[in-house]
Structure 1
Amino acid sequence: MKTKKLLTPWLALLWLVVGMATPSYADDPFKLGQPTPEELKMTTYAPDTSAAAVVLYDLGESSFLFTKGTQVQFRRIVRIKILKKNGLDQADFLVPYYRQADGKKEEVLNVKGFTYNWENGQMVKMKLDEKAIFDEKQNANWYLKKLTMPGVKVGSVIELTYTIKSDFIKLLREWEFQQTIPVKWSEYRVGMVPFFEYSQVKYGVHPFHIKDAKIERKTVAVTWQDDVGITKIDQRGSLSMSVVQYQWAMKDVPAFTPEPYLSNAKDYVSKLEFELSKIQYPDQAPRFTSGDWESFTKELLKEEEFGGQLANPAFLKKIVAEAVAGKTDSLAKMKAVVEYVKNNMRWDGKHRIYTDNLRKAFDNRQGSSSEVNLLLTALLREAGVEANPMLVSTRDNGRPLENSPMISKFDYVIACASVGGKNYLLDATEKDLPFGMLPLRCLNGKGWVVQAPAGKWLPLTGVEKNMQMVSGRLKLQPTGEVTGTLTENFLGVPALRTRSAIRAKGQETYIKDFVNAGPDWVRQGVKIHNLDNLQESLKKEYELNRTGDGAAADLLYLAPMLTHGQGENPFKLTERQFPIDFSTPVDETYVFTYDLPQGYALEEMPQSASITLPGNAAKFTYVAQMVNGQLQVISKLNISKTFFEPSEYASLREFYSRMVAKHAEKIVLKKKS
């Protein structure tokens, strides 16, 4: 790149983006190394007196360097006040950074830290020792810089600063304004150069206190190489450009508290994310890295580490022939191929989009989600089944953005196959997955089918029905003893969860743990059926026993839901800011039949109840009745709507409150005189 001033159209483009230049940054309210006496003496944080610690100030700055190619430099300064003992863990810091085998890398530099304490009427300062900073390798590419601030105790103020230089310009560093403790002030600044355009996505409900931008004319140092004969010579110079200085700030941000049935905190924490969408250096044609879904799909299909892996599956021909031998219709072939991959490939637990070498993964019989399911896709195609890879954002990764093609919003690959006009979403990473069912981690809105020419969104739903049904025949004795036999049947996600728990512990250990049903109940004679027959319901049969008193009682009390009642309402907050995500429909049925002791009469019995939310989004029915001289209790819960908005929270909370109250009601029998 030769040294020159930027062309006038670039400057005009910047003015169109930001309009007239806005005022400069607000005065920096933070000075490194200068905590105030008020901060040191602070004992509580007034907006949240329960806070164990508070971020007093958090500043991040990103800028671009051109002296070693193009790099992004990120600098952070953070100051935290420790208020309570359970806030001491704020002294531990983890700084992730990334490296590739080709030499591209991130470096964490200039790490400095201080702890300040107020002792005997004056400030005592302790410096972070460089020997207390460690590097830890997480996997092939990710590393952690780990440190713990020195001398931290209740009342301390800690301060840390560091710089990250990155060769990866595609992902400009995100910034979280909200944390698990309150944040008094959080600010992010970016000096955006005209060569790059980034998509910006804001998350969370908290407004900006400052949202600003201004144009500054800057001259930056650059290096490049010129060809001189057969050698290359490093050249140095400068480049004049118009830089847009962005500033975002939030103040008095409350701590983020995870709530039940929240798919992922990443979707709701107040933060900014960026992804490169366009590159254009002076005198060069623009190169779009995302932009629209059609371009996004075409690029992925051409990408050597993605679509290119499906282009030459010749090594799979013999394997496919053996896997589908004797199968004539496409559906049977599809099932056979899925079983082959499940039985011959081991998932290494990693969520990935790309793969370096599909053949190598196959030879090793092990791989990431991309390698297992790209192999599945290639095998299906070789078997004559229409199949395409499908990008998924797992629940831990957050929901994908349907209006913005950002590859960082996906972290997983499955296969989408079509037979007879019907789509089948397939994942071969888990042996306990029935055909056509997705693991719970993948049930996260929609996925993107990478299919020429433009791709498409499809909802992430499987063909399997989710169901849990428990039935029991029991006998109540005059002493209060309860004995009987129960059968539990599971389909879909409940079956997968149970099978996974059994595999993780081993069947023998699982049964030993299952036998202990609590202080009053004991399970015996546990039998598990259809553990390996994935297309059938998983079944558990066992005897249930509760000991009674030594003599007959005048009054007998029975909680008829036994060990299966909804013991508490998961929705405890009076108000909720975030949606409720059940991930899958819920279908739970409990039927218990009791033989009552002779010489006793029903004194109290729960009234039947039926609760329904608008649009039949959820329904709970409860019936307690005498049938042919026996007591029968039936409880049914159906939740057909998997995603509830915050505006629906109050009615859902009340729904659960009434169900909990009904399950807690007891049956009372009185001894006849």
Structure 2
Amino acid sequence: MNTRFLKPWLVLLLLVVGVVTPGFAEDPFKMGQVTPEDLKMTSYAPDTSAAAVVLYDLGESSFLFTKGTQLQFKRLIRIKILKKNGLDQADFVIPYYRRRDGNKEEVLNVKGVTYNLENGETVKLKLDEQAIFDEKQDANWYLKKLTMPGVKVGSVIELSYTIKSDFIKLLREWEFQHRIPVKWSEYRVGMVPFFEYNHISHGFHPYHIKDAKIQHKTVAVRWQEDVGYTSMDKNGSLSMSVVQYQWAMKDLPAFTEEPYLSSAQEYISKIEFELSKVQYPDQKPTFTSGDWASFTNELQKDDEFGLQLTNTTYLKKVADGLMAGKTDSLEKVKAVLAYVKNNMRWDGKHRIYTENLRKAFDNHSGSSAEVNLVLTALLRETGVTAYPMLVSTRAHGKPLTTSPMISKFDYVISCVQVGAKTYLLDATEKDLPFGMLPLRCLNGQGWVMNGPEGKWMPLTGSERNIQYVSGQLKILPTGEVTGTLTEDFRGVPALQARSAIRDKGQETYLKEFANAGTDWVRQQIKLHNLDNLQENFRKEYQLNRAGDTAPASLLYLSPMLTHAQGENPFKLATRLYPIDFAAPVDETYVFNYQLPEGYELEELPKPATLSLPNNAAKFTYVAQMADGKLQIMSKLSINKTFFDASEYGNLREFYNRLVAKHAEKIVLKKKG
């Protein structure tokens, strides 16, 4: 057949490709292959603590050419429920994508069955179509939600579905690892010669199967040919080589969140794809990755992103009011930021696109995209240079800097230029000081949409995470301890404290803070700089611990009071993942104790200094007599924010020693 007659946008290819996985049934997507052993299982031997286990998870992506060019994704998953806290595995959410231009994804053939063993018989409960619901997540993303019926401890649940997609860029990624153990997980992709994708693997677990086989296929072709004033369907055939990829992992442990892990998505075992080239028969290739200028240009012309910033005359009246009497550019920026913070409520959603920015402004509410695009638009309306900045939050994973993929971003902030200085601003949280970003945004770099090309910029806040606590205390012969403490916070600790007060209400917050535990009581609590965000947030209070009814011959005191590091956050003996503190940390505690008359020091903690290589972290502890008082000083500095997994052992031991030092007591002995 002469392929020069083919018009790629009209070609209709019918392609059927099938591969059999060794060790499985002829049709691996056939439901109902639940064994008696599956139903009788009461625990999972490799992990007896598991609340549930994925028995089988199979996905397959292939290309369809029966209606333009489409991707088809099929999935079958089978899960065993082992404990009560595993019942939430019966809830499924299937995301799918749609655009206003008519291109869309469809979730089809959703089938589910719950299997229970009752009186030795297998009882099946089918998923009712009426129990499947659709929910709009944002301008483009939708969710299909369902809960499997009749699920209880001992059930096996099975779900299958198909997604047809008009978006060849959205070749679905595959997560082999889950929050519960996985016995078998497999993904297959049949790659046709028209498209090339880069494969990106994540995680630390090896493939059990990693295979690629070339299969030669003769494909039926149907195309249209113009004849006079009409067109005729033509039929022919085309030979092509299809590469059948197969990836499988088995016996995977549950993925467990660990402290100071920036993103599970970054380290969970999975594979994802990036379209790099499109080339139809007898056509020049089109390269779709690596061109950041085109990425930026297209996004600036997108009617759900860049075009939302082109017609903002509805903001002019507000801008004029905010600028009245102001000539300093930085003063203007601060006024606009304060206005957006106070007049728009963030709905908690991380988004990039918006359907209607003016509607969000009028409703005084919106996603991160809407709040911060309003901020950007209003700044521009006042004459300030401001650009949207694409961010991947910590929970979403690091952005891919090597090539543009919009799916690698999930958040928008504003990049503002005032003279020679650049400020990164986020108006979603009312308690953020000017120039500080929320912890969720401190994740490597962000992409600034400035001019025709754009640029990468580090996501760094202007604040260190600082906590400084000082106290003047008195120890009585009965063991009672009383005194005044002052706590100063800056950076994330200050933000967290202010946000907690705003969320709970000041009265509730103070009531909870007054209860310092079984032994301690806080009284006469005063809060300072609650709304003055550029200053340290401060708490002052009286701290008291009751003593015995009579003087004791020996008095024991934990000198760190209520501020001791009670446990090591790094409990695992080994760790596969890096440690990310996001921002430098400074924690300083200084306590001065007046000793009771007639008592002397029996035991005093020895001084200690701990350091990690290159001063990455340092801990200093001093207990000494000074000016007739006992002085305790503890200082922790985390100067390096990112530690590789190879450094985990040193960091864990560092914290072990810190915890041990904070646990040491002071012993006072009555003289004579």
TM-score by length of 1: 0.89
Quick one: structure 1 residues 600 and 227, their matched pair in 2 at CA, closer, same or farther if it must change by over 3 Å? farther
Is 1:477–2:476 an aligned residue pair?
yes
Provide the secondary structure at the position in 2 that maps to 1:553: coil
Whole-Å Cα distance in 2 between the matches of residues 50 and 347 of structure 1? 39
Provide the secondary structure at the position in 2 that maps to 1:380: helix
Give the superposition deviation at 1:57: 1.8
Give the superposition deviation at 1:173: 1.6
Quick one: structure 1 residues 549 and 238, their matched pair in 2 at CA, closer, same or farther if it must change by over 3 Å? farther
Provide the secondary structure at the position in 1 that maps to 2:600: strand
Quick one: structure 1 residues 376 and 278, their matched pair in 2 at CA, closer, same or farther if it must change by over 3 Å? farther
In structure 2, the partner of 1:502 is 501
Farther off after superposition, 405-414 or 50-59:
50-59
Whole-Å Cα distance in 1 between the matches of residues 42 and 309 of structure 2? 61
Q: Is the 8 A contact 2:341 2:427 kept in 1?
A: yes
Q: Which string of whole-angstrom CA distances, capped at 9 and with x for unpartnered residues, describes residues 444-465 of structure 1?
A: 1111112234322221112233
Give the superposition deviation at 1:301: 2.6
Is 1:444–2:437 an aligned residue pair?
no
Farther off after superposition, 185-194 or 660-669:
185-194
Is 1:302–2:297 an aligned residue pair?
no
Question: Which amino acid in 2 is paired with 1:245?
Answer: Q
Q: How does 1:388-537 map to 2 (within 5 A)?
A: 388-537=387-536
Give the superposition deviation at 1:66: 3.1
Give the superposition deviation at 1:396: 1.8
Whole-Å Cα distance in 1 between the matches of residues 525 and 343 of structure 2? 32
Q: How does 1:659-670 map to 2 (within 5 A)?
A: 659-670=658-669
Q: Is the 8 A contact 1:126 1:150 kept in 2?
A: no
Provide the secondary structure at the position in 1 that maps to 2:147: strand
Is 1:126–2:124 an aligned residue pair?
yes
Question: Which amino acid in 2 is paired with 1:77?
Answer: L
Whole-Å Cα distance in 2 between the matches of residues 206 and 245 of structure 1? 22
Whole-Å Cα distance in 2 between the matches of residues 227 and 347 of structure 1? 55
Provide the secondary structure at the position in 1 that maps to 2:359: helix
Whole-Å Cα distance in 1 between the matches of residues 473 and 572 of structure 2? 37
In structure 1, the partner of 2:600 is 601
In structure 2, the partner of 1:16 is none
Q: How does 1:16-27 map to 2 (within 5 A)?
A: 26-27=21-22
Q: Is the 8 A contact 2:591 2:631 kept in 1?
A: yes
Q: Is the 8 A contact 1:178 1:256 kept in 2?
A: yes
Give the superposition deviation at 1:640: 1.0
The counterpart of 2:24, out of the listed 29, 36, 40, is 29
Question: Which amino acid in 2 is paired with 1:209?
Answer: H
Q: Is the 8 A contact 1:618 1:640 kept in 2?
A: yes
Question: Which amino acid in 1 is paired with 2:131?
Answer: I
In structure 1, the partner of 2:543 is 544
Give the superposition deviation at 1:436: 0.5
Q: Which string of whole-angstrom CA distances, capped at 9 and with x for unpartnered residues, describes residues 301-355 of structure 1?
A: 3333323333344444444333233333332332233223223333232221122
Give the superposition deviation at 1:371: 2.3
In structure 1, the partner of 2:253 is 254
Provide the secondary structure at the position in 1 that maps to 2:53: strand
Whole-Å Cα distance in 2 between the matches of residues 504 and 224 of structure 1? 62
Whole-Å Cα distance in 1 between the matches of residues 359 and 341 of structure 2? 17
Whole-Å Cα distance in 1 between the matches of residues 377 and 94 of structure 2? 38
Whole-Å Cα distance in 2 between the matches of residues 378 and 637 of structure 1? 42
Q: How does 1:357-376 map to 2 (within 5 A)?
A: 357-376=356-375
Q: Which string of whole-angstrom CA distances, capped at 9 and with x for unpartnered residues, describes residues 261-281 of structure 1?
A: 111111111011224444454
Q: Is the 8 A contact 2:113 2:127 kept in 1?
A: no
Whole-Å Cα distance in 1 between the matches of residues 631 and 61 of structure 2? 67
Question: Which amino acid in 2 is paired with 1:126?
Answer: K
In structure 2, the partner of 1:556 is 555
Q: Is the 8 A contact 1:223 1:234 kept in 2?
A: no
Q: Which string of whole-angstrom CA distances, capped at 9 and with x for unpartnered residues, describes residues 342-396 of structure 1?
A: 2333323222112233333333333322222223223333434332221100112
Question: Which amino acid in 2 is paired with 1:196?
Answer: F
Provide the secondary structure at the position in 1 that maps to 2:332: helix
Question: Which amino acid in 1 is paired with 2:474?
Answer: K
Give the superposition deviation at 1:604: 0.6
Whole-Å Cα distance in 2 between the matches of residues 480 and 508 of structure 1? 31
Q: Which string of whole-angstrom CA distances, capped at 9 and with x for unpartnered residues, describes residues 475-527 of structure 1?
A: 11111111111111111111111111010001111111111111111111111
Whole-Å Cα distance in 2 between the matches of residues 650 and 58 of structure 1? 35
Q: Is the 8 A contact 1:7 1:282 kept in 2?
A: no
In structure 2, the partner of 1:173 is 172
Give the superposition deviation at 1:221: 7.2
Q: How does 1:230-249 map to 2 (within 5 A)?
A: 240=238, 241-249=240-248
Whole-Å Cα distance in 2 between the matches of residues 463 and 139 of structure 1? 33
Quick one: structure 1 residues 197 and 487, their matched pair in 2 at CA, closer, same or farther if it must change by over 3 Å? same
Whole-Å Cα distance in 2 between the matches of residues 470 and 102 of structure 1? 58
Provide the secondary structure at the position in 2 that maps to 1:525: strand
Is 1:74–2:73 an aligned residue pair?
yes
In structure 2, the partner of 1:15 is none
Whole-Å Cα distance in 2 between the matches of residues 238 and 658 of structure 1? 75
Q: Is the 8 A contact 1:305 1:357 kept in 2?
A: yes
Quick one: structure 1 residues 173 and 483, their matched pair in 2 at CA, closer, same or farther if it must change by over 3 Å? same
Give the superposition deviation at 1:633: 0.7
Whole-Å Cα distance in 2 between the matches of residues 127 and 345 of structure 1? 46
Is 1:327–2:326 an aligned residue pair?
yes
Provide the secondary structure at the position in 2 that maps to 1:437: coil
Q: Is the 8 A contact 1:67 1:221 kept in 2?
A: no
Q: Which string of whole-angstrom CA distances, capped at 9 and with x for unpartnered residues, describes residues 238-271 of structure 1?
A: 7745433221111222221111111111111101
Quick one: structure 1 residues 306 and 282, their matched pair in 2 at CA, closer, same or farther if it must change by over 3 Å? farther
Give the superposition deviation at 1:169: 3.4
Q: Is the 8 A contact 1:62 1:73 kept in 2?
A: yes
Q: Is the 8 A contact 1:75 1:164 kept in 2?
A: yes
**Amino-acid identity (%):** 69
Give the superposition deviation at 1:6: 8.5
In structure 1, the partner of 2:207 is 208
RMSD: 3.0
Q: Is the 8 A contact 1:626 1:632 kept in 2?
A: yes
Q: Which string of whole-angstrom CA distances, capped at 9 and with x for unpartnered residues, describes residues 82-115 of structure 1?
A: 4445444434433334455665544333233344
Is 1:135–2:130 an aligned residue pair?
no
For structure 1, list consecutive stretches of 5 or more residues without a partner in the other structure: 11-22
Provide the secondary structure at the position in 2 that maps to 1:353: coil
Question: Which amino acid in 2 is paired with 1:426?
Answer: L
Quick one: structure 1 residues 305 and 286, their matched pair in 2 at CA, closer, same or farther if it must change by over 3 Å? farther
Whole-Å Cα distance in 1 between the matches of residues 377 and 237 of structure 2? 48
In structure 2, the partner of 1:269 is 268
In structure 2, the partner of 1:14 is none
Whole-Å Cα distance in 2 between the matches of residues 343 and 403 of structure 1? 38
Quick one: structure 1 residues 151 and 591, their matched pair in 2 at CA, closer, same or farther if it must change by over 3 Å? closer
Question: Which amino acid in 1 is paired with 2:124?
Answer: M
Q: Is the 8 A contact 1:175 1:188 kept in 2?
A: yes
Provide the secondary structure at the position in 1 that maps to 2:494: helix
Q: Is the 8 A contact 1:75 1:163 kept in 2?
A: yes
Farther off after superposition, 571-580 or 43-52:
43-52
